[in-house]
Structure 1
Amino acid sequence: MDDDQPIFQQIADMIKEDIIDGELKEDEKVPSENELSQFYGINRATVRNGLQLLIDLDLVYKKRGIGMFVKPGARSWLINESQDRYLDDYIKPLLKEAQRIGLEVDSVIQLIKKETGK
């Protein structure tokens, strides 16, 4: 946990990462409020707020009396969202800077290939 974001947001983000990484699969049970609050040593209400973010994003669903589960399609949606954010946060600024200093796109691609050994 860090101080840059609210804890409930960090809980939601960690669960999103687990979904993307395949550690939590579609229709698999998400750890309960009690499990998460004990594991991280935080208040259940904070965990509940984080889980509510995931419900609001339609990434998890509740089975009354059983718990919360990863919704089918959640991983694909999260991957697409992450790719879009990656494009906006890294690729577009990279290409803008390359253009500013006179590098063509093909040159950037060659530099990336060289750096990765491909």
Structure 2
Amino acid sequence: MKNTLDENKPIFIQIKEQMEDSIINGNAKALERVPSTNEFANFYQINPATAAKGINELVAENILFKRRGVGMFVTENAKEILIEKRQKTFYENYMLPLKNEAKKLRINENDLMEMVKREGHADEN
């Protein structure tokens, strides 16, 4: 977990996103216990209800499940659900605006693909 929170974004969203990142990155694996709302609240010195809001959203999305009296756990297919959700968000937030801007600049699809490939090769070096 990060030690600090960003004051420009709701805390419950940050807690939710941190848990999502932890699952996608493999730090929290399927069926493993994750921090409770009280543990998040103590760590960040926040109200437990705020932490619960983020965690409860993950429960509603089938990312986490509760075992009464035991804790919160990662569902078996949490990572796949999150990757699929983030791929869709990636497409909507990055690819569509990129495509629209390229169109404005009269960059055709082939040239755009070449730019992406060229950038990919630059990352390899």
**Fold conserved between structures, TM > 0.5:** yes
Structure ranking higher on relative contact order (CA contacts 8 Å, 6+ apart):
1
Task: State the SS of the aligned residue for 2:66.
Answer: strand
1:17-50 CA-to-partner distances (Å, cap 9, x unmatched) read 1111111111110112222112112122211122
Q: Distance in 1 between matches of 2:27 and 2:15?
A: 15
Map 1:1-118; keep pairs closer than 5 Å. Answer: 1-117=5-121
Shift of 1:116: 2.8
Q: How many pairs align? A: 118
Q: Distance in 2 between matches of 1:47 and 1:6?
A: 11
User: Normalized against structure 1, the TM-score is what?
Assistant: 0.91
Segments of structure 2 that go 5 or more residues without pairing to the other structure are none
Worse overlay, 68-77 or 47-56: 47-56
The alignment yields a C-alpha RMSD, in angstroms, of 1.4
Segments of structure 1 that go 5 or more residues without pairing to the other structure are none
User: Normalized against structure 2, the TM-score is what?
Assistant: 0.86
Q: Distance in 2 between matches of 1:115 and 1:13?
A: 28
% identical equivalent positions: 36
